[in-house]
Chain A
Amino acid sequence: MKKIEAIIKPFKLEDVKEALKDIGITGMTVTEVKGFGRQKGHTEIYRGSEYTVDFLPKTKIEVAVADSLVKQAVELIVKAARTGKIGDGKVFVSSLEDAYRIRTDERGDAAV
């Protein structure tokens, strides 16, 4: 079982969600986040004053998936979220000890 965290451009959220749904991933957690990587920020100018905005808005998707689905899921996310321009984001994969479904006490792969 793995946890996939993907930081993507906000307008790509819909595409990524649809792509994951197609391979049977039925749940995810989405957060609006701010950050920067190679894209850095942008500058805003108000009258004479110039400001550098370092943190840009991004969307973070967290999905827990069974080991068998990880490779396919990551490929789909990368494909759906890519624009080819700087600032497309990143995908992180980490191992997950366990998972519980609160309502039914199911554990492990059955719970994700």
Chain B
Amino acid sequence: MKTIYILPLVAALLALAGLPVAGAEAPKLPVPTLEQRVGDLESYMNNAARVTDGKAESKVGGGGPGHSAWMMTSAALVLFMTLPGLALFYGGLVRRKNILSLMAQCLALAGVVSLLWWACGYSLTFGKGNGWLGGFQHAFLQGVGSDPNTDYGQWVPHSLFMVYQLMFAIITPALTIGAIAERMKFKAIMLFSVFWMFVVYFPAAHWVWGADGWMNGLANDAAKIKAIDFAGGIVVHMTSGWSALALCIVLGKRLGYGREPMQPHSMALCMVGTGMLWAGWYGFNAGSAVAADGVAVNAFVTTTLSAAAGCFTWPAIEYCVRGTPSVLGFCSGAVAGLATITPASGFVTPGVAVLIGIVAGAATWFACNVIKAKFKYDDSLDTFGVHAVGGTIGTILAGVFATTAANPNLGADRIKAFVGSTLWLEQLKAGALVLVWSVVATVILAKLVSALCDGLRVSEEVETIGLDLVEHGEEGYHG
């Protein structure tokens, strides 16, 4: 038990030790000329690198106000997707005896992942190290201050980029818990998620998004696989979705699955959560431009159109197949459209977004209705069916349809030869590797956590009574 108290102390000391280093003396730069000063302003307007960069002292200190304002808003929007968007979306879909367990898990992940991110998660993901993992140079946020880290954003403070990316790190493990809802021990979920962040999320996010990541085709000249992932098709939806499938199979079905009624206890809450997810997704996708620029606006538009197309397609299929378009169909289709456009949102044109949304709605409907019924796994809330299927399709389609017309960064020498030709193959390679990594890691971690927690599942009695009362000592509803 003592180590529990010692760890934060050590951490605090380390953080304090880091403070003087962060303020290390900078070399004195010459006073900027008028040309350079105007150049900096133009760069701010165009979200380009500073003209004074290293050559003269910039009179525009830190980040730029407009870009920073949008990124703070985006960070809050992405957190809003988890708290309470996803908590309500998932909470409404379980039985009433388990609503609080989903909410507790979302809140607990927000807390724990934030601390991991502060301690070393951010550094391991976005710090420079090798192609596989970042270093510890930003542990306890050393050197993460108001000056932009130009590897990731020219006009956004490093600390703001850090906190924005934290919100992605929170929602990713939170997506996974949908597949294992209503039957896994709380402590096993938390332990699994902590291990999973270190083994899957931090590395995979570094591969695809890290400045020196080996799959970062957009920013790393030395990338072995020239993949692109605008807002997390691979990093968020594929890692969480495929891990979810592996974990729900390892865990087994809920008691009475397929025999007892397990209807969503509140489609109203589920719909409220869906609306929050959709609205929050603008921070997720348009925010991933790390600027309030044209790429961000294009992502905003593509996100809207894909969500709308998905929201139309899924219930349209239901209407054709069984005559009643359901609210859960609208919700699922919208989320599928959003998840699928995510990797492509900043790379494709609006017309393509409509196509992607339609494909998303149809493919995820098929996965949740046909594939799930055929293979009989209990992916309780369809994390695999929506996020893994959507994220994977979106990742490949991003490779097919990415164009410099939507994102000038695709014109860079390191990637332009792939755009419009074999980029989809790079996407396929990156996606397949992350898929295999996620599944294998999840199975191994699940076995490990099972050994540490004396099994992953709650007892049959607890599962019957409900997780809320036994695991959290509360009930979502009385009477």
Contacts and interface: CB of A to CB of B under 8 A. Distances in A.
Interface of A: 44-49, 51-53
B422 interface: no
B263 A47 contact: no
Interface stretch (B142-150, B369-377, B451-459): B369-377
B368 interface: yes
Contacts of A48: 368-370, 372-373
B217 to A, nearest CB: 35
Interface in B257-293: 261-264
A45 B261 contact: no
Contacts of B322: 45
10 A-B pairs closest in CB distance: A48-B369, A51-B261, A47-B368, A48-B373, A48-B372, A48-B368, A51-B263, A46-B328, A46-B264, A44-B263
B332 interface: yes
Contacts, number: 27
A47 B262 contact: no
Nearest to B267: A46
Interface of B: 93, 261-264, 322, 326, 328-329, 332, 368-370, 372-373, 382, 385
A47 B328 CA distance: 7
A48 B464 CA distance: 23
A46 B270 CA distance: 12
A49 B328 CA distance: 12
Contacts of A49: 262
Contacts of A44: 263
A47 B332 contact: yes
Contact of A45 (B262, B326, B385): B326
8 contacts: A46-B93, A46-B328, A47-B328, A47-B368, A47-B369, A48-B372, A51-B262, A51-B263
Given A46-B263, A47-B372, A48-B373, 9 more contacts: A46-B326, A47-B332, A47-B382, A47-B385, A48-B369, A48-B370, A48-B372, A49-B262, A52-B261
Most buried by B among A44, A45, A46, A53: A46
Contacts of B264: 46
A51 B263 CA distance: 7
A1 B329 CA distance: 54
A53 B261 contact: yes
B370 to A, nearest CB: 7
A41 to B, nearest CB: 10
A44 B328 CA distance: 12
A51 B256 CA distance: 12
Nearest to A49: B262
Contacts of B332: 47
Nearest to B368: A47
Contacts of A51: 261-263
Chain B CB within 10 Å — which of A45, A47, A48, A52 has the most? Answer: A47
Contacts of A53: 261
Nearest to A54: B261
B273 to A, nearest CB: 15
B330 to A, nearest CB: 12
Nearest to B264: A46
B22 to A, nearest CB: 50
Nearest to B322: A45
A53 B261 CA distance: 8
Nearest to A43: B322
A85 B15 CA distance: 74
A88 B118 CA distance: 64
B93 to A, nearest CB: 8
B258 to A, nearest CB: 8
A46 B263 CA distance: 7
Contacts of A45: 322, 326
